Amino acid sequence: MLVVRLALKSLRSRLLTTMLTILSIALSVTLLVGIEHVRAGVRESFAGTIRGVDLIVGARGGTLQVLLSSVFGIGSPAGSVKLSTMKRWAAHPAVKWVAPYSLGDSHRGFRVVGTTPTFFERYRFRNNGEITFASGRVAQSDTEVVVGSDVAEQLKYTVGAPVVVTHGLQDIGTSNHEAHPFVVVGVLARTFTPIDRSVYVTLEGIEAMHDGEEFAPAVAAAPPTMSGVTPPAMPGAAPPVMPGAAPPVMPGAEPPPVAALVPAPAVNEPEHDHGDDQISSFFVGTKNRFEALMLQREMNTDLVEPLTAVIPGVALGELWQNIGSAEVGLRVVAIFAVAIGLTGMLVSLYSSLEARRREMAIFRAIGAGPRTIISLLVLESSLLAFLGCVLGVAMVYGGLALAQGPIEQRFGLHLAIRPLGSTEYLYLAVVLGAGTLIGFVPAWKAYRTSLVDGLSPRA
Partner 1 sequence: MSVTSASAPAVELSQLRFAYRTGREVLSIDHLVIARGETVFLHGPSGSGKTTLLGLLAGVLQASSGNIRVLGQDFSTMSIGARDAFRARHLGYVFQMFNLIPYLSVRDNILLPVRLDAGRRARLKGVSLNVAAQQVASQLDIAALLDAPIGELSVGQQQRVAAARALIGSPEVVIADEPTSALDTDRREQFLQLLFASCASAGATLLFVSHDHTLMPLFSRVVSLGDINRAAAC
- Residues at the interface with partner 1 (CB under 8 A): 2, 6, 9-10, 12-14, 358-359, 361-370, 372, 450-451, 454-458
Nearest 5°: phi and psi at 52? 80, -10
Burial string for 163-180 (b: 16+ CB within 10 Å, else e) reads bebbbbbeeeebbbbbbb
C-beta closer to partner 1: residue 362 or 407: 362
Q: Give the shortest CB-380-to-partner 1 separation in angstroms.
A: 12
Q: Give the shortest CB-13-to-partner 1 separation in angstroms.
A: 3
Distance CA 206, CA 223 (A): 19
Q: Which residues contact 209 (CB under 8 A, 6 or more apart)?
A: 105, 142, 165, 167, 177, 179, 180, 201
Distance CA 245, CA 169 (A): 10
DSSP letter for 263, please: S
Q: Give the shortest CB-439-to-partner 1 separation in angstroms.
A: 18
Sign of the CA dihedral with 277 first, then 281, 286, and 290 last:
positive
Q: Give the shortest CB-388-to-partner 1 separation in angstroms.
A: 21
C-beta closer to partner 1: residue 39 or 364: 364
C-beta closer to partner 1: residue 258 or 355: 355
Which of helix, strand or coil describes residue 355?
helix
C-beta closer to partner 1: residue 255 or 370: 370
How many angstroms separate the Cα of 399 from the Cα of each of 27, 44, 139, 337, 392? 12, 19, 41, 18, 10
C-beta closer to partner 1: residue 358 or 418: 358
Q: Give the shortest CB-9-to-partner 1 separation in angstroms.
A: 5
Give the E-state strand segments of 303-369 in sequence order.
307-310
DSSP letter for 153, please: H
Distance CA 232, CA 229 (A): 9
Distance CA 62, CA 49 (A): 19
C-beta closer to partner 1: residue 145 or 361: 361
C-beta closer to partner 1: residue 280 or 450: 450
Q: Give the shortest CB-340-to-partner 1 separation in angstroms.
A: 28
Q: How many CB atoms lie within 10 A of CB 255?
A: 16
C-beta closer to partner 1: residue 394 or 459: 459
Q: Give the shortest CB-443-to-partner 1 separation in angstroms.
A: 15
Distance CA 265, CA 273 (A): 14
Beta strands at 144-147 and 198-202: parallel, antiparallel or unpaired? antiparallel
C-beta closer to partner 1: residue 303 or 355: 355
Distance CA 349, CA 439 (A): 8
Q: Give the shortest CB-16-to-partner 1 separation in angstroms.
A: 13
Q: Give the shortest CB-355-to-partner 1 separation in angstroms.
A: 9
How many angstroms separate the Cα of 25 from the Cα of each of 200, 342, 345, 402? 50, 7, 7, 21
